[in-house]
Amino acid sequence: MSDPENKRIEELARKWAAGNISEGEMKQLDNWFLEGNEGAQSWPGEDRDAESLQARLRGRLMRDVSRRSAAVRYIRRGAVAAALLLAIGVSYQLIKREAVETPEGNAAVMEAIVPGKDRAYLTLSSGKTVELASDQETLVVEGEQLQYANGRPVGAELDGDSADWNTIQVPNGGKYKVRLPDGTLVWLNAGSSLRFPSSFTETGRAVALSGEAYFDVAKQTDANNRRIPFMVRTKHQSVEVLGTQFNINAYEDEATTRTTLLEGSIHVHVGTQEYVVRPLQEAVLHHGSTRVQVGATDTLEAVAWKNGLFRFKGLDIHGVMKQVSRWYDVEVQFAESIQNRRLTGYVSRDLPIHRVLAMLEEVGEVTVDIEDRILYVRRGKREQQNK
């Protein structure tokens, strides 16, 4: 890419970041990225071929700016092309520095800490536990049969009685998807578990969740053509739906349970109280309280994990590190009091941990060292620590 073009793309990326880019300029940015990344291939610096650059940029932690509908529309249509371009235009020096300024720690330990993968265990009502295949991503429950999405049998069967409950558990460093007997799809995040009956009845469908899951609930009717409700119970609340898509974050080590609705409507029950949640709203229950706050929210943030991203919007460093801890299956210790700095941006969950930590160090103004799968977090940037 020529020097003038280089400067033009950087200028547009900066305008996008500032939120004052026009629709025509946004199209130019979009097209530049979507036209085969020719400019990226000739970007200065080592190891800048298109595939490598795209992988690097997809993981770049950046400011989450401009909430204008036009910007959101183009981000969705262009597969976050503008976000990647922002990293090229604004953060090139940060990318270069990342190659040499990574968290300190034993190289072998860092290589052993890999991103989460498809990993889960199924405990049947009989007490038998089966490790689900790591080369599959979906467990299909159909009648008494258990199989994967490609038809391969799991090697175990359900008892078939609706009174018998089974549990799929996803450990830290894992994720998995399950299709329940009614056709409902459930995506489970790391450190989560779902209890479900061997079969549902016409009087109701219910499951129990610990951790985080995204639900795409199938609509189901009884013999009289009345819709059968679907209930998700967590430690602090119950959510009732008929057929919709929503996310529940109900980790027990968090201060809140968050229920985010994408489509349809849901009813959140806490004690004797009932709250109605509409699309693009979130219900937040503070543990220890029965009061639920319902309001508009950024649904992209809530479901980012399902789409392979960490996405933060004003989340403090403690909350960020909790997500990193679960996904990479590591322990986090804060070596000292850390300023409650809030981060906004996103980063790929497919990156090696040292890459993610290098980005967090830069943006969060902290230093992270690794020893025996323990992350030690200290305040201040690495260059300040080394002075």
Encode 206-224 in three state secondary structure.
EEEEEEEEEEECCCCECCC
Lowest mean per-residue pLDDT among 62-76, 105-119, 171-185, 362-376:
62-76
Beta-carbon contacts of residue 224 (< 8 Å; ≥ 6 apart): none
Q: Is the pLDDT of residue 109 over 90?
A: no
Give the span between the Cα atoms of 326 and 331, in whole angstroms.
Answer: 8
Sheet holding 374-379, edge to edge: 331-334, 374-379, 366-371
Give the span between the Cα atoms of 237 and 326, in whole angstroms.
Answer: 23
Over residues 261-279, mean pLDDT: 95
Over residues 30-52, mean pLDDT: 41
Q: Is the pLDDT of residue 384 over 90?
A: no
pTM for the model stands at: 0.75
What is the token pair recorded at 237? 């609340």
Q: What is the per-residue pLDDT across 4-22, written as a single tens digit (0 to 9) for each?
A: 666 676 677 656 544 566 7
Per-residue buried b or exposed e for 293-310, using 16+ beta carbons within 10 Å of the residue's own CB: ebeebbbbbbbbbbeebb
pLDDT confidence of residue 85? 38
pLDDT confidence of residue 362? 79
Residue with tokens 């609705």: 261
- Residues of the chain with pLDDT > 70, as a percent, come to 72
What is the token pair recorded at 265? 């409507």
Q: What is the per-residue pLDDT across 215-260, written as a single tens digit (0 to 9) for each?
A: 999 999 988 999 999 999 999 999 999 889 999 999 999 999 999 9
Domain boundaries, given as residue ranges, for the chain:
3-98, 107-114+311-385, 117-302
Is the CB of residue 123 less than 8 Å from the CB of residue 169?
yes
Over residues 368-379, mean pLDDT: 90
In CATH, 107-114+311-385 is 2.40.10.120: no
Over residues 93-100, mean pLDDT: 35
Residue with tokens 């499951």: 207
CATH number of 117-302: 2.60.120.1440
